Structure 1
Amino acid sequence: MADQLIKVITKDEAFRAFAVDGTKLVQEAASAHETSRLATVVLGRALLATEILAQATLKGEERLNVKMAGRGPIGQIVTEADTKGAVRGYVSNPTIEPIVNDDNQLNVAGAVGNNGAFQVTKFAPYSNPYIGQSIMVSGEIGDDFTYYLTHSEQIPSVIGVGVTMNPDDTVKAAGGFLVQALPGASDAQLADLNEKLQNMPSLASLLGDKKGPLAILDAILGKENYSKLQAVTIGLAAEPDKEAYAKQLATLPSSEIQAMIDEDGGAEVRGKFSGKRHQFTAHELDIILQDVLKREAEEKEDDSSDSTK
């Protein structure tokens, strides 16, 4: 079964919530980027939180980009998502060595850092991008997304994301949730929600009962206390194919392409977001080079013509 995100509203209309089981998504991202155990957890949390944010704040053909720079050893974390369930991302240091806390658990905050910037850029057709910014407050990812929503978007929210690993460094479970208070929420309802969030089981145990996102919603909101609004299938966004990368190579100066042929006998292009590698032989590069040389000659001729007018 494909990974799924579910949107609901409580029957008393006090809260709306989103829950996601993204286990397969994170497994695929870890495989594509060949991430270490710690990098898998960091990237997985970021992908899940970004997809939840997209579903909560975007409409139609809009999409968003999230950049987190907490100045930790994992480097920058970059993710993108749209309203259709497609998400992608990468971390600067995918092979980061394990960092553990006093409980001998992976120290996500220590890897990410909390002394930097959190930026969200929203893109919409026929309009200029909107940029929202806040600070990194913990490096735990979920807390940083929560802070952004509360302070930059002015939406009282709680985001929680988690990735649990198997002993062999494969992904056991990955999921998350977002709960937002609606205008009608009372202080008593807010207090009750906070208590449930404090006492809820781990995301890994909830996802293990095969109910998927519904298990998370049941634990937070209570069974039969909400109405389903929408279900969205989520997955890694499609990456450009080899032909698209060939067109990008064709934008380089001929001298750079010639150097790839002479010095390396070819080239390897790796997509930042997908981790996929595309190999270009010397013959393939030479075909691209001929087109570039022709373009440069035409541009030189145009410049020469303009100078004589």
Structure 2
Amino acid sequence: MADQLIRATAAEGGIRAVATITSRVSEEARQRHKLSYVATAALGRAMSAGLLLASNLKKEGSRVNIRIKGNGPLGGLLVDAGVDGTVRGYVNNPGVELPPNPQGKLDVGGAIGKEGYLYVVRDVGYGYPYSSTVELVSGEVGEDIANYLVTSEQTPSALLVGVFVGAQGVTASGGLLLQVLPKAARDESLVALLESRVSKLSGFTNLLREGYTLPEIFKQLLGDLGLEILPEVQMVRFNCACSFDRVLGALKMLGQAELQDMIEKDDGAEATCHFCGEVYQASGAELAQLIEDLKSEVI
């Protein structure tokens, strides 16, 4: 099934539901960054979460940044996701690998660490971006972001994210976000019912591997609560806005002396984008042109 995101409501608009499939997105990130199994799972979960959070934004160009910095060997990660369905991200130490956790699953919590912080920045397309910081509760990504939603946005939320990666790469990845909005949050029985149903799920990626579609997953959870699946299916993809022109712009900021030093020592420069792993080469002639541009700006 293609990578996609769908939205739904239930309980007369009192419940908001969003689900996404990110199998190809996670596999592209794995290949681009040469990620280990556990690094793939960590970044894949965070990219799914970023898309789910960004889906609530309204204005074109709005984006969400998620940064997780824990005390584990992964060293942290950063994800950037847009309301347009694009996402990118990286981890600090992509080669880190750990033994499975006691449940026999990839030890994402151990890789990220249980002590540290989650930083979320929402750029809603106007004014100053909204930022929030919360302490990590497990390092497992899904629990940490659900805690952020409850702590910072006072919205009871359930967030499931998962990645199944094997010897052939990522075969299932995605996530599900359920939120009880203020007009329904006072109904404690409704909140308890959702918590019970979510806790009984065998895992989001297990459902994908068993062949369930996103609408079928929604029906399983909310089918008897006035479920309304919105008709738009949004395609999602790994996408980075880096370009050679942007690299030249960044090199230009180094100044004439540093550029001249690069020409004399290496006859050029190499730059790698953290987000997508793309490598850009600037020749000595191109650096010399940057120096000439800087000189003309001074005159």
Contact conserved, 1:11 with 1:227, CA < 8 A, in 2? no
Runs of 4+ more than 6 Å apart: none
Q: 1:238 to 1:103 in 2, by over 3 A?
A: closer
2: CA distance, partners of 1:36 / 1:127: 39
Q: 2:173 is aligned with what amino acid? A: A
Q: 2:38 is aligned with what amino acid? A: L
Residue 212 in structure 1 maps to residue 236 in structure 2: no
Is the radius of gyration larger for structure 1 or structure 2? 1
Root-mean-square deviation (CA, aligned residues, Å) is 2.1
Give how far 1:137 is off: 0.8
Give how far 1:26 is off: 0.8
CA deviation string 1:55-78 (max 9, x = no partner): 13x221322222111122111211
With structure 1 as the length reference, what TM-score do the two structures score?
A: 0.88
2: CA distance, partners of 1:243 / 1:100: 43
Unaligned runs of 5+ in 1: 299-309
CA deviation string 1:272-305 (max 9, x = no partner): 111111122223322223323444x53xxxxxxx
Aligned residue for 2:240? Answer: 238
Q: For structure 1, which segment, 278-287 or 216-225, has the greater mean C-alpha deviation from structure 2 after superposition? A: 216-225
Q: 1:284 to 1:85 in 2, by over 3 A?
A: same
Identity %: 34
Q: Secondary structure at the match of 2:161?
A: strand
Residue 173 in structure 1 maps to residue 172 in structure 2: yes
Aligned residue for 1:190? Answer: 191
Q: Secondary structure at the match of 2:207?
A: helix
Contact conserved, 1:165 with 1:172, CA < 8 A, in 2? yes
Residue 60 in structure 1 maps to residue 59 in structure 2: yes
Q: 1:13 to 1:123 in 2, by over 3 A?
A: closer
Aligned residue for 1:202? Answer: 203
2: CA distance, partners of 1:239 / 1:93: 22
Contact conserved, 2:16 with 2:179, CA < 8 A, in 1? yes
Contact conserved, 1:4 with 1:213, CA < 8 A, in 2? no
1: CA distance, partners of 2:165 / 2:188: 37
2: CA distance, partners of 1:93 / 1:223: 45
Q: What number of residue pairs does the alignment pair up?
A: 295
CA deviation string 1:173-197 (max 9, x = no partner): 0011001113235333322222221
Aligned residue for 1:136? Answer: 136
Give how far 1:167 is off: 2.6
2: CA distance, partners of 1:100 / 1:209: 22
Q: Secondary structure at the match of 2:111?
A: helix
Q: Residues 20-169 of structure 1: matches in 2 within 5 Å?
A: 20-56=20-56, 58-61=57-60, 62-168=62-168
Contact conserved, 2:59 with 2:125, CA < 8 A, in 1? no
Give how far 1:14 is off: 4.0
Unaligned runs of 5+ in 2: none
